[in-house]
Structure 1
């Protein structure tokens, strides 16, 4: 039975942790989006773009992606903006947002003639088995070689590696404005035999032998029963906390949808709809707190229960627990 209880606790912990993480991500994404917009109004694009990018990573949305593309365009990163505008066109068509499709297509048409481009080619004899060519952190597949690729102005690093070969590395500087550049990957030199031997030795050292340790016997504790009672009580209170979090979470979602029907468009709301949206955020915050408290209690209860020593006939421990629930808090009291 203990393995079944363990599986139950772990499942609840996984569900609650995932729900809590998602709610936290949405709240943080909303705040980062607002900060990014304010910085864009002040034309502080170098500060605004990372905030919008993180908001998009936490809670992807076409509106955030469109703002990020505009920010990168103003920052001078035309290739990045061009890619993001192209993504907006695809997503906005899926969402039936012709206004966003039209705006993004206009920006693409305006950017394309000004895009800096770089062409990477292979010299004869350089295309050896296992060759990997990277531009910054992106791997260039064979179809991308020989193609004038859009690239942001600034400094970039091109590398080429292959098994048994010395790596090739070069730095490329792309000037702002319309520019065309090219770089050719030369045939890679053979790696010295000494270097290969050192690599083999390093790999051998990375896989040391292991030994088996015999388990150390432990003695039973007279407080095992009491610890298990507290663990079960805390686990039960954790389930209650998660239930409260779920209730407020459903309320937040309902109010969020109601605010959309009342006039919110993405993150922009009229006064009446903004009040409903604020109520949704408040419910979401309570949900996050309740989920966090419930998950903490559930996890602590599981640890106490499954780490309790075997009970003995001399065990007279007991525990009394209670739960207090406030608008934004959960409390636990316990007596041994």
Structure 2
């Protein structure tokens, strides 16, 4: 269930960078236009291309032929990988960014209005490279420096800190599969072990009827749940709100998913709730649990990490296409 268009981090980076972007280049000394139509078109294409690597490379080549500065081309590649959430490829850009760190020219940039925003991006990529190597101290050093250099981009850096903290916290968590939870639809209590029996893993889908993203993503969730169940993954949707009104609204939403709806639909308990144990802060969230109660993934349904974890359990699982908004 990937949000259409730009990734969350790409939206944040682009919004903060473009909000302070430079005004269009002034005419040159001879009075000619600084950006002829073909050059402008090539620049716009490479900055907006979000297709395959081959399509991006073609746009990059056209931009280079049109005389777009190398600095702008590096920025285009950076945004391309950010948008596609390709952290490993971003980390691989580090040598190129470090080489340009001190020679950066503001007049060659297309998305940065101040030098500090550029330096923050270099620190951000250094932090990703450290995270890839499992170097927590180095990650903390560089992500902190990125915050210091460009506070306005802080909301783009924060998810990586949250991810690191979540992974560390989940290492010490074991879910008691004997836990019994009330059924949203049948009124009986069901234990997780019963749902997990003879399955490769259990996917917990935390949601609430008052959460717009939860409701809007239900059609995609239905397709995803069918794919997982077909490949031996038990699916449980867990209502995080026990208020009568929330339960009533939840039943109405579930009734639109067909009969029977995909997977089991349960209500989390108020005391010793799973959403508190699993540090659920945003909805919807998904938690993948092993037959031993170990947390294999905890995060947003759109994250690649979920599908990477599922692929390890069942290589036959295919990530379903998502409807455009």
TM-score computed with the length of structure 1 as normaliser: 0.22
Q: Which has the higher helix share?
A: 1
TM-score computed with the length of structure 2 as normaliser: 0.22
Which structure has the bigger radius of gyration?
1
